[in-house]
Amino acid sequence: MDFYSLNKIAPKVSFKDAVIKGLAPDKGLYFPNKIKRLEKEFFKHLNYFSNEEIAYEVIKQFVADEIPERELKEIIKETLSFDFPIVTINENISTLELFHGPTMAFKDVGARFMARCLGYFNKQENTTKVTVLVATSGDTGGAVASGFLDVKGVDVVILYPSGKVSEVQEKQLTTLGKNITALEVDGTFDDCQAMVKKAFLDTDLISIKNLTSANSINVARWLPQMFYFFFAYKQLKNKNRDVVFSIPSGNFGNICAGMMAQQLGLPVKQFIASTNVNDIVPNYLKTGIYNPKPSKQTISNAMDVGDPSNFVRILEIYKNDISKLKKHLSSYSFTDDETREAMKYLKENYNYIADPHGAVGYLGLKTYLTKNNAQGIFLETAHPVKFLDVVEPVIKETIELPAQIKEVIDKEKVSIKISNYEELKEFLLIS
């Protein structure tokens, strides 16, 4: 399958090149040249397929023959080695838990799939080593570190803001070693991101290093997120009732993958983009004006994004027709106080412990369902244990550490401290 750049200047590339490059040379995001709907029969018989079989059907048109069937099936099998359960909250609301992977956030699936695709392409030709350079405010770093650990031909360099990620998150990035290096930046997340962007444009570096990114702009991280929506649909007992999904959104990669699943034919009535006070998209749907702003810090920090990079992909699906888009997308924004209230409400009424991101998803769904009749699913994108300092005071209970967290929490942190771009560059040039 060919992918074109949304800035429409750079030439089309194969899946392989889109994965290796990340972003097109004209700085546009890559988008599939064609989207083919899946057979009606497939949806009818979804219940009979395993998750791995579903994932293969869903992704194969995008990978085409660039990864042979056997290898692609193996990549999918390794990527999906955990559960994606639906938990019922009440008769209209359930949650799809996406946090049962190794780092307990939904980003595990995309990171694991992308890592294995890159590993496969590297094995094919003895191309030069690829260096994955990524800035994280918390969750991305851990998922990428775990997903890429031991992948041959790939080095991973993660920049994170010193003192600004949770203890669990820091341990997940700094204790793996091997091909993973954590750079602890004396600065904010925005500083980390600015350094990464500068590195991608630095001709001294890119003339000798194969740099790529591992955030959701990369098609191999973005597209496998389509799987979740099929797994959810498969688990629904009543497939005759309208289905809506509420997705806690920051960079809008996850929700855009859901909307791609709908393009493949998945019968979803509406998507709800639930955001914190970083309300660029809810405002856009209200006013028709897309007005990016500097991000504001919230308790759902993985969604503190002031210019969601994947939203252009959603606009591309709808060919920039906002009235058509609104038929499939609603969007609401919530404050931290409302989010804490929702966490408390879910615990007291349904004995369900949501993390702050899932709670925002719940609120968006609840708002939509006050005016519409449907069965709603909100995505729980991280385990509450990743945000202990926020969750425990609200629910007034201690949360037991799951095995994945116990495993890293006592390991020794290893990081390299840097404070400016020159130090990053020096590190990349000698490593």
Ligand X SMILES: *Cc1c(COP(=O)(O)O)cnc(C)c1O
Catalytic residues: 107
Q: Does 249 bind ligand X (CB under 6 A)?
A: yes
Cβ proximity to ligand X, 22 vs 248, nearer residue? 248
Strands 93-97 vs 86-88: parallel, antiparallel or unpaired: antiparallel
Phi and psi angles of residue 374, each rounded to the nearest 5 degrees, phi first:
-165, 170
- Asked if residues 245 and 229 have their Cβ atoms less than 8 Å apart, the reply is yes
> Considering the rule CB under 6 A, would residue 252 count as an interface residue with ligand X?
yes
Q: Which CA distances in Å does 143 have to 47, 111, 137, 198, 411? A: 29, 6, 12, 23, 17
Joined tokens for residue 309: 């990079």
Closest C-alpha to 246, from 268, 274, 277: 274
> Is residue 221 near ligand X by the rule CB under 6 A?
no
Q: Which stretch binds ligand X (CB under 6 A): 2-10, 126-134, 242-250, 325-333?
A: 242-250
Q: Does 114 bind ligand X (CB under 6 A)?
A: no
Among 21, 234, 357, 366, binds ligand X (CB under 6 A): 357
Residue 380 has, within 13 A of its CA and on its CB side, a CA count of: 26
Calpha distance 179→52 (Å, rounded): 28
Q: Does residue 145 belong to the site contacting ligand X (CB under 6 A)?
A: no
* Cα–Cα distance, 325 to 286 (Å, whole number): 12
Query: Binding ligand X by CB under 6 A: which of 266, 302, 346, 353?
Result: 302
Contact with ligand X (CB under 6 A): which of 22, 224, 253, 384?
A: 253
The stretch among 147-155, 246-254, 369-377, 409-417 that binds ligand X (CB under 6 A) is: 246-254
Provide, rounded to whole angstroms, the least separation between the CB of residue 30 and ligand X: 16
**HSE (CB half, 13 Å, CA atoms) of 93?**
22
248 touches ligand X by CB under 6 A? yes
Give the whole-angstrom CA distance, residue 176 versus residue 153. Answer: 17
| Nearest distance in Å: CB 153, ligand X | 26
**Cβ-proximal residues to 349 (8 Å cutoff; 6+ apart), any chain:** none
To ligand X, the closest distance from the beta carbon of 193 in angstroms equals 13
Q: Which is nearer to ligand X, 317 or 428 (CB)?
A: 317
According to the binding rule CB under 6 A, does residue 275 interact with ligand X? no
Query: Under rule CB under 6 A, which residues in 364-393 are in contact with ligand X?
Result: 381-382
Verify binding: residue 105, ligand X, rule CB under 6 A. yes
The contact set with ligand X (CB under 6 A) reads 105, 107, 139, 216, 248-254, 302-303, 357, 381-382
